[in-house]
Structure 1
Amino acid sequence: MQKYLLLALIVVVCQCQQAQQPLPPVWPNRFSQDFVETWNITNTIHRSVGTYFYDYTQGTTRLARSNGQYDPLCKSLHTDAQQCDQIIVNGERYIYYPDTQECCYCCGQNDGCGVLSPQWFIEPTFLGNVSYYGVPAYKWVIYEGPNEANPNYYIETTEEEPTQRQLLYLARSNYEQNYFLDSLRTDFGSIDLPQTCNRKSLCPGTCAKVRPAQSN
């Protein structure tokens, strides 16, 4: 009798744990949010600030960094400390340097450089409820490869509806982004490609490695 009671208790506990797991993350179709980014390069910490503009309805994004010299794509053309924007329009990713107004084509949709889907979280694993600087939050891990390779750690607020949650933290490999909770916006201008950007001006460096050989 005790054996059956124990089994029943285990089933109830498992069902409760499953019921408590939230729905996986889904981004709203349009938002922008400010962040502080930290890079760990050979055990030396480097920081920059930036803003992520995301508009899936128009198929555009703009990832603006105050200093892009540590980002693999931003430093394709310049390795000094200057502002760098990654702009995606029409499935094409461009690297733009506002200080000098230089721009080059990095890679395209077929190279994995297009706009992320709002449901880009492929089979995320829920790591539990956490406190993020005093804010109740959900923590997830998303693996980019088999055998739990290339984990992305993701923290968000705890609203029941996934599209109402706010991004708080994203980390992968040697960098992390901490997002400001009170900086979320849905009202911002259109994301347009600067006039100096064109498909014929190809970025070297990491961008060239991402593109097919026939494109270089």
Structure 2
Amino acid sequence: MNVVGVVFLFLVLGVVGAESIRLSPDPPSPVLPATFTAGFDETMDYFGLTGATQGVLYYDSLKGYERMDRENGEADRYCGTAHLFSKTPCTHLIVDSTRWLIFPQRQSCCYCCDSADGCGIVKRDFLANATFVGYEEVNGTSVQHWKEEGLQENDYWQTDDQKPVRLYQKPNDDMRFKGTDLKPIDPSVFQVPDYCSSDKQCGGTCSFLRKRASRSVSKSGGRPKGILVE
């Protein structure tokens, strides 16, 4: 084969290769595992209040339960506004469509909001309309990168078997997961403490969400549209 023929062959193979890459289908949209436990490292910046903490997320969509423990809730926009400038552990616990904020060291608990306010558990397909950005390497592993506009820009990374790797709600909250356990979760994890009472309502962000829902109902005559909160 002469030189012209070789060059032509390479050009053809290059075009075919590029076309196959361009036409390769995107992975299916992210769906959270039905039940899982995952540790995480988190950095937050809300209203000029910055912080870093560690925690654990427990998620059981089959029962409609979710729990998120943070070693320090000061920079969380819910815990940190319920107890201002308080460096103390804080738990979000969602049971029966009700979100509680629990401060175990203080033996304190308050009612935050419920599913009508947009405070139910995160939906498994909360990124159903996300755009696939591509594959990226994280800690030596190739993972999927997705992006979706919501209340803010959400960037999400997951493994091919749809285990969460990272969730970055720009520019406020960056959560990096440390392993995912798919085993069933002991029901006691989602037990609401005896000292929780709906008579004691959380202030701060929780109060804003409750008032926002009330205004929506008043104007529309129906239930407000749910929003994603963590």
TM-score normalized by the length of structure 2: 0.78
CA–CA distance in structure 2, aligned partners of residues 66 and 95 of structure 1: 13
What is the Cα deviation at residue 70 of structure 1? Answer: 0.4
Letter in 2 for 1:130: E
Asked if 1:169 is matched to 2:171, the reply is no
CA–CA distance in structure 2, aligned partners of residues 187 and 214 of structure 1: 34
The percentage of counterpart residues that share the same residue type is 27
Letter in 2 for 1:27: L
What is the Cα deviation at residue 14 of structure 1? Answer: 5.7
CA–CA distance in structure 2, aligned partners of residues 109 and 13 of structure 1: 47
Letter in 1 for 2:186: G
TM-superposition CA deviations, 1:8-40 (whole Å, max 9, x none): x98995664343411111111110100000124
1:212 counterpart SS class: helix
Native 8 Å contact 2:116 2:213 kept in 1: no
Q: Which residue of 1 aligns with 2:56?
A: 51
1:99 counterpart SS class: helix
Letter in 2 for 1:177: M
Change (3 A) 1:29 1:106: same
Native 8 Å contact 2:88 2:103 kept in 1: yes
Q: Which residue of 2 aligns with 1:91?
A: 97
Change (3 A) 1:41 1:118: closer
Asked if 1:151 is matched to 2:156, the reply is no
CA–CA distance in structure 1, aligned partners of residues 64 and 146 of structure 2: 26
Asked if 1:210 is matched to 2:209, the reply is yes
Native 8 Å contact 1:166 1:184 kept in 2: no
TM-superposition CA deviations, 1:20-73 (whole Å, max 9, x none): 411111111110100000124688852100000001111110010000000010
**How large is the RMSD of aligned CA atoms in angstroms?**
2.4
CA–CA distance in structure 1, aligned partners of residues 41 and 120 of structure 2: 23
TM-score normalized by the length of structure 1: 0.83
Q: Which residue of 2 aligns with 1:64?
A: 69
Native 8 Å contact 2:49 2:75 kept in 1: no
Question: Which protein shows a greater Rg?
Answer: 2
Q: Which residue of 2 aligns with 1:162?
A: none
